[in-house]
Amino acid sequence: MDRGPSARVNPVAVAAARLRVLSRWWGSRPAVTRDRGVALVFTVLSFAAPLSRVGAQFGGLPTHGTSVASVLLTLGQTLPLAVRTRWPAACLAVVGASFAVYECLGYPPTFGSLGVYIALYSVGAHQDRLRRVVPLAATGGYVVFGVVLHVLGSPDGLTDYLLYYMVLAVMWGLGVQVRGRRAQEAEHRRLSVQVAIATERSRLARELHDVVTHHVTAMVVQAGAAQYLTESPDRLHESLDAINGTGRRALAELRFLLGVLEATGDSAPRERTPLPGRVPDLVEQTRAGGQPIELIEDGEQSGMAIGAQLTAYRVVQESLTNAVKYAPGRRTLVRLAHTSDWTDVEVTTAGTADGAPASAAPPGGGPQVSGGRGLTGLRERVEMLGGEFAAGPSPDGGFRVHARIPAGGAA
């Protein structure tokens, strides 16, 4: 029954798939296991027809029959490949000597003679110590090998010797090239790790700045206001409770960050990302310090990723901190607008038009905008998530911070 074109099996595709599976399996084996497998394959093929007579032959000396010595010399060219990665120089010495003696005695070609190529490649790819001495020693051995062949009556001339030496040098050069590529990959991985560490340190520095600056500023303002409430015990008690709550929140966030710094292993990104607080609690905390703040929130942020929630929280936190530091007593408006794709965060501090006293420093803090960790850090946070950030003076002399944050942003 004809199953149709879709049911026909392509033998080439099947063979290619099996080769890919075999390559992945072989690459996942330890180096010692792979080397032993290479030695075993070369040994078996050296005594199995029809490949047993396929191999390198050099010198052109009269061929003699096989013997016990030829078998031992063949094993000397294949079995040392089991240590080609661990001891490449020793492997080349044994394989090269066995190959030279085998050819000088005029034994028939054997598949095991190809082991000298593998040994040379292994020296170029895996030799760590005496990397220049080993090729020079191998070259000296080759010269002695050529002289002995010439004395034994080899018909090959100088051109043949040079050509064969170039072939051997190419095998060694391939190993050197592979070694260089591995070194480049290792250096690339090392640099990638350094970049990841620097990124993580920068992230932690921003977190520490946000936590310390905001909470300490709030505690200072609340403590300053408390000294004027000694004649009102109820309000003084509320102010002290606010200071206590602010300190506890600061300690909790600092404890989390210290836990991240003390971690010895990698953890999931979600485990390394602190859960953001609630903006209403943040507004209420700052309002308790005497800053008049109004919060307007449209929509819900239930679909926001943790990273996006944390960034929105930090934008409000940093903006309120600057408002308390540079525009104390001025009316501040916090507006949050949530959609399925974006969250718009806007914090506006009124200027002197509403009668509030002017401060010595601009509401946003000039240094913060130009190079500090505050608003500059916020810009980096938002843009890292693919959002938009803007901060600057408003027409009435106040200050406005606006951020549009993708709802799916990751930390």
1/242 Cα distance (integer angstroms): 84
113/104 Cα distance (integer angstroms): 13
Mean pLDDT of the chain: 77
**CA dihedral sign of residues 223, 225, 231, 236:** negative
DSSP annotation of 232: -
24-33, 162-171, 324-333: range with lowest mean pLDDT: 24-33
Task: Map out the domains of the chain with their CATH numbers.
Answer: 10-156 (no CATH), 191-406 (3.30.565.10)
Nearest to 181 by CA among 115, 133, 120, 124: 124
Cβ of 301: how many Cβ atoms within 10 Å?
18
pLDDT at site 314: 83
pLDDT at site 231: 64
pLDDT at site 347: 92
399/381 Cα distance (integer angstroms): 20
Q: What is the pLDDT of residues 74-133, one digit of tens each?
A: 899 889 998 888 899 999 999 999 999 988 888 888 888 888 999 999 999 888 888 888
Q: What is the pLDDT of residues 148-194, one digit of tens each?
A: 988 888 888 888 889 988 999 999 999 899 988 988 888 888 888 88
347-354 mean pLDDT: 74
38/57 Cα distance (integer angstroms): 21
Q: What ranges in 289-374 are assigned the alpha helix state H?
A: 306-326, 366-370
pLDDT at site 248: 72
